[in-house]
Chains A and B, each alone.
Chain A
């Protein structure tokens, strides 16, 4: 067993876990944050994607102890002050989901993608390529891609307006 401590969605949390505990189990079961999903549990589907120290990772393929001392952001941490994150808002606007099971991972991967490429710098081909590690079993990719493109463009506009 290990005593671990990390910042989850801006809040310092700690707990005692078995060393074999996956980060996703710590998030869901220990922290009660069930927005992060377990889909395949074999690192293929990306439903469990969270950000660790600002980078998208599959939380089913990382031990909680590996994240000891890190900053973790889950889907619950991306909205601010009751207002949806632009990517969340775009998924709603463009209906970027069917059953919705993959949505948490899709949104976390989309935010990471926009962070890396810069808002406004994503075209459809890049988005599709970047979604290689996120599977939508309903195969509803069309609107997911549309939502990410819209969010990326809108965030570029917001950044411009802020200047």
Chain B
């Protein structure tokens, strides 16, 4: 790891000020992706701004029709939260399936979505539930937040503060983890919202990161059952193809995971 200078931010404003001042700073939350990347010298930020202890970025709040989760909330805390388990069990299960127990004690929601790894789990939940991301500057819909592979709509000096998840009628996530890395080869989050509309988001498979599947959404809105999506394929053209699996294999996985997610949602 190259040399870097560590700062512990006390507030979002403090972190934003440090970010503006430093030459090439990165925000450090749980560090479960950033630190391995730095160890491999694939990233060499001049400064690290630790946002993990900022009070405004902690905690899970039940707002009735939605649940708000602070960006620095650990995966283990989302997985274990009584309110999340009760109102969005699919989201609790997703958080409890990220990495392994030690990683879940450090990794955070804000870190995951800001990095927008194409195989990360959280982006699928945000997109499928139509979550709203509150940053240090504005509010963004999940549909406009995720813009591409490791790309988001965040400005250089913008910090994710919290995410608000609308409570779905029912929702669930199913993923096929890579047997070695446990990252999603394909993960599908399916949500039936309060108004009866359905949203389906896929992670792990797309060349441009997480994406929605309108065809599945329409089919499920009419008939919320696994058989409704069994015949729908996303097509292999825009999917990832690598040593872990071809794009055709991933296209098949997406359909299988969509069926499993619908079944799990009940």
Contacts and interface: CB of A to CB of B under 8 A. Distances in A.
Nearest to B32: A61
A116 B105 CA distance: 12
Interface in B81-117: 99-103, 105-106
B93 to A, nearest CB: 13
Nearest to B105: A55
B3 A62 contact: no
Nearest to A56: B102
A160 interface: no
Given A56-B105, A63-B6, A133 B32 contact: no
A139 interface: no
A83 interface: no
B113 to A, nearest CB: 19
A58 B3 contact: no
Interface in B18-38: 28, 31-32, 35-36, 38
A137 to B, nearest CB: 14
Given A2-B6, A41-B39, A66-B50, A20 B1 contact: yes
B182 interface: yes
Contacts of A62: 31, 35, 106
B3 A133 contact: no
A9 interface: no
Given A56-B101, A133-B100, A19 B32 contact: no
Nearest to B34: A61
Contact of A133 (B1, B28, B103): B103
A130 B48 CA distance: 31
A20 B31 contact: no
Contacts of A66: 6, 28, 31, 50, 52
Given A41-B39, A62-B31, A57 B105 contact: yes
B31 A61 contact: yes
Interface residues of B, number: 26
The size bracket of the interface on A is 20 to 34
A42 interface: yes
Interface in A18-62: 18-20, 22, 41-43, 46, 49, 55-58, 61-62
A132 B31 contact: no
A58 B102 contact: yes
Contacts of A112: 101-102
B36 A42 contact: yes
Contact of A49 (B4, B28, B102): B102
B11 to A, nearest CB: 17
B35 A132 contact: no
B2 interface: yes
Given A19-B5, A19-B6, A63-B31, A132 B100 contact: yes
B3 A19 contact: yes
B106 A57 contact: yes
Contacts of B3: 18-20
Given A57-B105, A58-B102, A132 B36 contact: no
Interface in B153-194: 182
B182 A61 contact: no
Contacts of A63: 6, 31, 35, 48
A82 B52 CA distance: 37
20 contacts: A18-B3, A19-B6, A19-B48, A20-B2, A22-B35, A43-B103, A46-B100, A57-B105, A58-B102, A58-B106, A61-B31, A61-B35, A63-B31, A66-B28, A66-B31, A68-B8, A112-B102, A130-B101, A133-B100, A133-B103
Interface of A: 2, 18-20, 22, 41-43, 46, 49, 55-58, 61-63, 65-66, 68, 109, 112-113, 116, 130, 132-134
Interface of B: 1-6, 8, 28, 31-32, 35-36, 38-39, 48, 50, 52, 76, 99-103, 105-106, 182
